[in-house]
Every structure is written in structure tokens, then in C-alpha cells.
Structure 1
Amino acid sequence: MKLRWRLTLSTLALVAPLLLFLFSHDLYNLRSFLIERESTRLRAQAKPIIDAELLNRTFDEPTPSNCQSTGYRPYLS
């Protein structure tokens, strides 16, 4: 085999795994970024609803609205 082909093959053997690793690493980072961004957006959308529900809740006496959401039935004598 000529020297030119040996150099080409050895260079490809060194560069191909490096490129494959860099591509997979970038793909993993992109996937993580997109998932993190989506979860942040969903949390931001849900926060006002969750806060309003928690702030409007009373803990003294169970009301019908509290009983419906939790399934709790107060003892009636």
C-alpha cells in the first residue's frame, strides 16, 4: 500500500471517532437544553395557577370545593 493511502487511512481512523464523539456530545447537550427549556416554560405557566390554588385554600373547615378535589368526606353526625 502506498504511503499516501496509509496516511489517509490512519488520519481517518483518528478523526472519525473524534467527530463521532463530538457529534454525540453536541446532540446530548442540545437534547438536555431543549428538555430544560420546555420544563422551565411549563413551570412558569403552571406557577400562577398553583399559587392561586394554594393561597385560596383554607385549613380550618373542609368545604365542598376542598372535598371534591381531595376526595375527603367530613364526618357528618
Structure 2
Amino acid sequence: MNIKVIIKFKYKNEEIAEIAYKSLEPDNIGYINSSIHGNYFICSLNGDSIGTILATADDLVFCETMVEKISELRV
């Protein structure tokens, strides 16, 4: 069975979306296809089991949360 999930993160502006994209892209290579559309960072996950998809989504959301918190520290 092939499972596909799309997760969209919405930001205040395109600059922050790009920061998230660039920060997470090295970790996503081979696992998640991602892109930026305006102020959205969009991630597409594919897998053969729900467990794999859930683990990947959990890791993605955790890492994105860290990027969000760090971007709040910018002056």
C-alpha cells in the first residue's frame, strides 16, 4: 500500500517560509519532497506503512517547531 500525506505550514511571510525550507531541506532529502508557495512551506510524504508516515511526520513537525522558535529569536 502506498500512503501519501501533504503537510502545509503557513508563515507570516515568504521569508520565514524560505528559512524553514532551507533549514529542513538537508534532513528531508530522500524522505520528503518540499517546496515553497508564497508564505506556505509544503511537504509531501510517501511511504508504504502508516507507522513510517507517522514517524516521518512527527520528526518533520518537531524540526519545524525548532525552526519556528529559532526564527522568533531573530532581531
Category of TM-score, reference length = shorter chain: 0.3 to 0.5
Structure (1 or 2) with the larger CA radius of gyration: 1
Where is the helix percentage greater, Structure 1 or Structure 2? 1
**Length-normalised TM-score, structure 2:** 0.35
Higher relative contact order (CA 8 A, sep 6+): 2
**Length-normalised TM-score, structure 1:** 0.34
Where is the strand percentage greater, Structure 1 or Structure 2? 2
